[in-house]
Amino acid sequence: MNADKSHCQFYVYIRVKLGKSAIEIHEELITAWNSDVPSLITVQHWIKEINDGARIGLVDATRSGRPRSSRTYKRTSSVRELIDDNPYLSSHDLAQQLDSDHSKILRILRADLEL
């Protein structure tokens, strides 16, 4: 059985409230789920958040900022249109025409367009 992150966080939360140390908690997690558990450093980080009051619930906080993905529908459609117009364009040409990184264009071609 795999150790689900939310199960581990709940277990850590309860054990912290009972006064257990990070090492004790981590060893108990390993005993319960073998080696498929968060690292000791992760457990220590969770304990610090619990003790500082930063981690009130078990759900990770939403994060602001730009999404990591640049593979938007608009960008993917643009790549598809350029390829339909000229199937002999190289990935470098596509990147230059769309003012994008070559690696992002490659991801669109392989993952989204399956080319």
Q: What is the pLDDT of residue 110?
A: 87
Q: What is the pLDDT of residue 22?
A: 93
Q: Is the pLDDT at 66 greater than 80, yes or no?
A: no
Which pLDDT value is given to residue 58? 58
| CA 13 – CA 29 distance, rounded (Å) | 12
pLDDT at 18: 94
Instruction: Report the predicted TM-score, pTM, of the whole model to 2 decimal places.
Output: 0.49
Q: How far is CA 74 from CA 42, 79, 81, 98, in A?
A: 38, 9, 11, 11
